[in-house]
Structure 1
Amino acid sequence: MLDEADIQLHADRIRDDGYTVIEGAAAPALVEGLKQALERIEREHNLGPAKTSFEGFKTVRINNLLTYDDIFWEVPLHENVLPVVEHVLDKECLLSSFCSLVLGPGQEAQPIHEDTQLIPLPRPHIPITLNAIWALSDFRDDNGATRIIPGSHKFPSSPEYGKDYDAVTATMAAGSVMLFDSALWHGGGANTSDGRRFAFSCAYCWGWMRQQENLQLGIPHETARRFPRRLQELCGYSVYKGQFGHIDNHDPIELLGRERGKRMVWEATDVRKARMAEAAKQ
Structure 2
Amino acid sequence: MLTDADIQSHADRIRDDGYTVIERAASPELVEGLKAAVLRIEREHDLGLAKTSFEGFKTLRINNLLTYDDLFWEVPLHENVLPVVERVLDRECLLSSFCSLVLGPGQEAQPIHEDTQLIPLPRPHIPITINAIWALTDFRDDNGATRILPGSHKFPTSPEYGKEYDAVTATMPAGSVMLFDSALWHGGGANTSDARRFAFSCAYCWGWMRQQENLQLGIPRETAVRFPRRLQELCGYGVYKGQFGHIDNRDPIELLGRERGKRMVWEATDVKKARMANQ
Scaled to the shorter chain, the TM-score interval is over 0.9
CA distance in 2, matches of 1:198, 1:113: 21
The answer for the alignment partner of 1:223 in structure 2 is 223
The answer for the alignment partner of 2:22 in structure 1 is 22
Q: CA deviation at 1:259?
A: 1.6
CA distance in 2, matches of 1:42, 1:4: 38
Structure 1 regions of 5+ residues with no counterpart? none
The answer for the alignment partner of 2:181 in structure 1 is 181
The answer for the alignment partner of 1:196 in structure 2 is 196
Q: CA deviation at 1:155?
A: 0.1
The answer for the alignment partner of 1:78 in structure 2 is 78
CA distance in 1, matches of 2:8, 2:231: 23
| Structure-to-structure mapping, 1:124-163, within 5 angstroms | 124-163=124-163
CA distance in 1, matches of 2:47, 2:149: 32
1:21 is paired with a residue of what secondary structure? strand
CA distance in 2, matches of 1:171, 1:106: 19
**TM-score with structure 2 length normalisation?**
1.00
Q: Deviations over 1:28-67 (max 9, x none)?
A: 0000000000000000000011000000000000000000
Is 1:117 equivalent to 2:117 in the alignment?
Answer: yes
Amino acid at match of 1:244: F
Q: CA deviation at 1:87?
A: 0.3
The answer for the alignment partner of 1:44 in structure 2 is 44
**TM-score with structure 1 length normalisation?**
0.99
* 4+ residue segments displaced more than 2 Å: none
CA distance in 2, matches of 1:61, 1:50: 6
CA distance in 2, matches of 1:67, 1:261: 24
Amino acid at match of 1:27: S
The answer for the alignment partner of 2:273 in structure 1 is 273
The number of residue pairs the alignment matches comes to 279
Q: Deviations over 1:137-167 (max 9, x none)?
A: 0000000000000000000000000000000
Amino acid at match of 1:222: E
Q: Deviations over 1:173-220 (max 9, x none)?
A: 000000000000000000000000000000000000000000000000
Is 1:87 equivalent to 2:87 in the alignment?
Answer: yes
Structure 2 regions of 5+ residues with no counterpart? none
Amino acid at match of 1:139: F
State, as a whole percentage, how many aligned pairs show the same letter.
Answer: 90
Amino acid at match of 1:75: V
